[in-house]
Structures are given as C-alpha cells and as structure tokens.
Chains A and B, each alone.
Chain A
C-alpha cells in the first residue's frame, strides 16, 4: 500500500480535499478561508481548487455563519463551519447548543442537522485568556452533539472525514500544538463515526494515562520518557468525547490498576472528572491500587505574561511527575 507523508495540518487539508472532491454536498464556511493564515497549513488553497462558492469566506458573524451551516445541513448539504479560534465561536452557542444539538430530538428524529463544526484550540505565545480556551467539556455535556478530538495525524484526517459524513452535528476540535506531528498515512478509509471508540495508543503495565487531543501527545511523550525509568505506561486516547464510551478505558485500568487523566481544559467540572467517574463507577474499589489523579489547567483564565503562561500550561514533565507520584506511593 502506498503511503503519503503528512503532518497533522496537511492531514486535515487532505481531508478537506477528499470531501470536496468526492461529495458535491460538502461546502466550507468560516472566517479567513480565502486567506487561511489563521489555520496553519490545514486549509491552503482550498478556495482556489474548489471555488469560492464552496469555500466561503464570511463577514465577522460567527453566530449567523454557524446557524447558516446548520440550516444548510437541514436542506441536505454537508457543511463544515470553521472557527479558527474556539473563543470566538462562543458567539455561536445558540446555533450549536440550542439548534444543531436538539433538532433531531425535539422534532421526533425527522430533522438531521448533519453539520460539522471545526473549532480550533489556539493557545500559547502570550495570547491570553480569550485566545486559548479548550472548552471540549462544555460540548461533551450536551446530548445530541458529537464531540471529536483527534490526537494523531491519521485521526486528524480520518475523523474529520467521518465527522462530515455523519448525519449528526459534530464538534471537531483540533489543537494548533499538534500540527507539527508527522506520520505516513495510507489512503483514506471512510470510518463510521458512531463506531469510533477510545484506542490504546501505547501499551503498558503499571499505569493508564487517559487523554484526548494535545494531552494525548503529552501522555505519549511522558510514557516514552518513563520507559527509561522502568515505569511502563499505557496510554488511552479518548478520540470521541460525546457520546462517551469508556469500555476500553475501564479495561485498561482493570489491567494496570492505576489511573492518571491528563486534560487540556480546566480541572473543575472538566472532562477529566467524567473519565474518572466512569472508571470508578464501573470497577470494584479494590481494583485501584492508588487514588486516580488528574493533571489539568489551574482554575484560572490563561495569563499572558510568559513566566505565568509557562507555569499555567501542562508540560511533559508535569505528566511524568504525576505518574511517579501515583506509582511510587
């Protein structure tokens, strides 16, 4: 099988190209699409290849543009609305939470808003509180909205395609800190999003780290580092946060008997709590050797000043330390 060299950004780009080439009902709408410097290398020249009718740059109107994508999906299209920063998408919450997530249910399963909302976590670089947020936990709280957080190059491509082909509204969340990862990808296989589950991305014996998106990358890097210290780490990448199926996670913890959750959102009320809850609800108390732990953001908005910012975001070292704390108890 021929493979193609990709990084996370070009993997997303290739998903857009695949969808626009193969599905005439796909169109893309969002700010900056005719000059996509906001989104790294993930949307380069789509407007030139597929035309500005199908790759629509918009007024500064997150709310109407997201609503329009929802409405177009009700009319048989497969729109992708792009929010280069999740923070600005908060203007569009009615379209996402009240409309897209609820039309199927409240209209008796007869309306299908199969819209994909691509929302980017874009933080660091002293950008501060409104250019940084990772709000996946909010969206995972909303029934009817599928939430996808690809961590690998392959998932960046294949889960975007699966999201768009799914007949439900999907919040696809990618993270600019993942864009440099590289991988060789096989040709596209169309996945059924409803069948996607967490995957064990590294096997180990001593502890399970569960994470999604960029946190999964941190977990994988920490696992490699800990290997040198004879601590064997299993990493489970959540991939799909809503609806959330925890069976793979529970099975992993059953084996390793230790659990650390790493999450790019805030600690309190975050998705890390949901993961731990699902595990402890489904395992006998005696199964865990140590209390589970979380590594997540402090309960504060992101600071701008570089010293504060460096301390605020989770590093590989933070994950390594947390693992040691658990296994050396």
Chain B
C-alpha cells in the first residue's frame, strides 16, 4: 500500500498539545466540553452494552470526537447532515442531548427516533441531523440530494455526509462525488479515515491510504487534516464551508483518526482486528484529541486542571441522572410497529 498519508498515519506522531494560537478561547472551551460530553456519553453506552442493559449493537467512536465537533462548529441548524453506523458524535455535536440518545439506544419512546431506531438509526432534523443508517454509504447520495435541494431552494444551506474509509469502497460514493461535482451541489464530504473497516486495516483493502485521492479524481478541492486536532479540523472546515456557501461547489475534508474500541461494542478487538494491536491502541490514545486540547489550554493559561475536574464531575453527574431517567422511561406502544410504516394516511 502506498502511504500517501505519510506521518499522519504513524501512531507514534502528533502526541503533543495542539496549536490553539489565535483561536477564540470561548470556542476552545466550548469544543472541549462538547468533546468531553460525547466521550463520556459513549463510555456510558459501552458500559450499558457490557452490562447487557442495551440490547442492540453500539458502534462507538471514542477517540474520534474532534471530527464531529470541529466540523459542526460552523454549521447551521438548517444545514443537512447525514451520518452512518458510527454517528453518536455526529448527532451530539449538533445537539448534545445525551438523555435522548440514551433513551433511543435503550429503545424508549422518549428517544431521538421515538424508540424506533436504536443506536444505528438516529434523527434530529431540527438541529440539522437528517438521519443516520447502518448501511455503509447508504446516506451519501441522500446528502447530495439534500444539498441539491438547498441549491434549488436557494437557502444557502449545505449538505454534509460523514463517510468512513470503508464506505468509499462502495460504488455509490463515487457516483455521489461525480454527481455533486457536475451539479455544483453545496456539499461537504467528511472522510473519517480511522484506517479500519470493521476488522480490516486499510492496507488490506486499498492500494493507497489517502482517501482524498478520490476528490482529486472528481475535481473536488480537499483538505487533509489531523483528525485528532479539533482546532485544525474546525479551521479547515470553516474554509471549506465558506467556499461551499459561496457557491463554489462540493468540498471534501479527510480526517485521519483512530477508534479506541473495536468495530462494535466495548471490546478492543485486538483479537479480531487484522493489524490492530494494543501497542497501536496505546499510541493512538496518546494522540487523544481531548487530552491534546486540554494540555494546550492549560499551557496557555486559559484553562486549569481544577476547571477540568469540575467539568468532569458535573458531566458525570448529569450523565448518570440522564441514564437513570432513560432507563425508567416507557417503551413505544404496541401499535408503533405498524403506525410508522407510512407517513400519509
């Protein structure tokens, strides 16, 4: 495999604090809190799954929080964001209501999808989250269509599709890149390259580990960024989103990252992962997007270890009570299975 990602794919690099120079302090703290919220929410889900309280699969993105948070910083509530199977963060970055996520994953009617979706089918259009589904690449063309709609509607909104490095192996992604370009659709393709599709390392699936080569093939301008540096993600996405809103057509951003858990549920998956080792995981944990921001803020004297501890205590308490509340909520009524098949009556 050609290593066009070069050092970005080297787990021993980029362990030091991220650069935060000239970035607004308020935004840094806000993004830090959001990343921490997402992480703790997913860790609670991991525990719930391990304890057998969650019946269905959960695909956790712990370690990848900087991507959704950085991308969402410059999105509007009227933009059209589409996720996939690993989309808790994509939704929470737009609406951090972890109580409704817990309720959904537990199959309760108070959940984001009224208890009809679970972890893999999430919806919260009022915040811009149009939906996520577990068919790999299943929403990419939908996002392009929502972007084409925005162009026809002249709203200035954009479509956003989160796409994994595995999803680009689906043909429809390439059709979608081409269609978005030829239609000059206001569309941001977000490539979360965590180097794995389920258990398979990218070197076993593709001849080159840089997904942005497909942007080149479709004349779509792109940026390649350290996905564990929330400031770099936010700055690059701001540039790209500005271009898209200015009518310049689709853009792609590739973010190199790594998931701490295995493909599904709470395990490390070093036994089923091909080319996945505890050493690699430890190294990637040292490239932790949250710790790197925390260290940078403490070093710059805009944040303290005490503040962080207070924040974590508050989040832990809120997450515990939201989980307990969701656990006690009701399941959907028995008529729900037939009730939602059609919208029109």
Contacts and interface: CB of A to CB of B under 8 A. Distances in A.
Interface of A: 27, 53-54, 56, 58-59, 61, 63-77, 79, 94-95, 98-99, 103-112, 114, 143-144, 146, 166-168, 193-194, 243
Interface string B158-184: 010000000000011001101100110
Contacts of B159: 71
B229 to A, nearest CB: 30
B343 A168 contact: yes
B133 A98 contact: yes
A75 B150 contact: yes
B150 A108 contact: no
A77 B150 CA distance: 9
B155 to A, nearest CB: 9
A194 B345 contact: yes
B130 A74 contact: yes
B138 A98 contact: yes
B123 to A, nearest CB: 4
A90 to B, nearest CB: 13
A65 B179 contact: yes
Interface of B: 80, 82, 111, 113-117, 121-123, 125, 130-131, 133, 135, 138-150, 152-153, 159, 171-172, 175-176, 178-179, 182-183, 332, 336, 339-345
Contacts of A114: 343
Contacts of A70: 141-142, 145
Contacts, number: 161
Contacts of A61: 175, 178-179
Nearest to B345: A194
A67 B149 contact: no
A104 B340 contact: yes
Contacts of A73: 145
B141 A71 contact: yes
B166 to A, nearest CB: 15
Given A66-B141, A71-B144, A105 B182 contact: no
A205 B330 CA distance: 55
Q: Which of B121, B122, B172, B339 has the most CB of A within 10 A?
A: B172
Contacts of B172: 63-64, 67, 94
B141 A95 contact: yes
Given A74-B131, A146-B342, A64 B113 contact: no
A68 B148 contact: yes
Q: Which of A56, A107, A143 has the most CB of B within 10 A?
A: A107
A104 B175 CA distance: 25
A56 B179 CA distance: 11
B35 to A, nearest CB: 26
B281 to A, nearest CB: 33
Given A63-B141, A63-B172, A99-B142, 16 more contacts: A58-B179, A67-B145, A68-B142, A68-B176, A70-B141, A74-B146, A76-B153, A77-B149, A95-B142, A99-B135, A99-B138, A105-B340, A108-B111, A110-B123, A193-B344, A194-B345
A167 B148 CA distance: 19
Given A77-B152, A108-B114, A194 B344 contact: yes
B145 A166 contact: no
A106 B116 contact: yes
Nearest to A66: B141
Contacts of A98: 133, 135, 138
A109 B343 contact: yes
B135 A59 contact: no
Q: Which of B133, B342, B344 has the most CB of A within 10 A?
A: B342
Contact of A64 (B125, B135, B176): B176
B117 A106 contact: yes
Contact of A71 (B146, B152, B344): B146
Nearest to B140: A67
Contacts of A53: 152
B145 A75 contact: yes
Nearest to B161: A71
A71 B342 CA distance: 17
B123 A108 contact: yes
B58 to A, nearest CB: 16
A94 B114 contact: no
Contacts of B116: 105-109
B340 A79 contact: no
B345 A106 contact: no
Contacts of B141: 63-68, 70-71, 95
A94 B136 CA distance: 10
B81 to A, nearest CB: 11
Nearest to A64: B175
B135 A72 contact: no
A94 B135 contact: yes
B146 A59 contact: no
A71 B149 contact: yes
Contact of A108 (B113, B145, B176): B113
Contact of B117 (A63, A72, A107): A107
B145 A111 contact: no
Contact of B133 (A79, A99, A243): A99
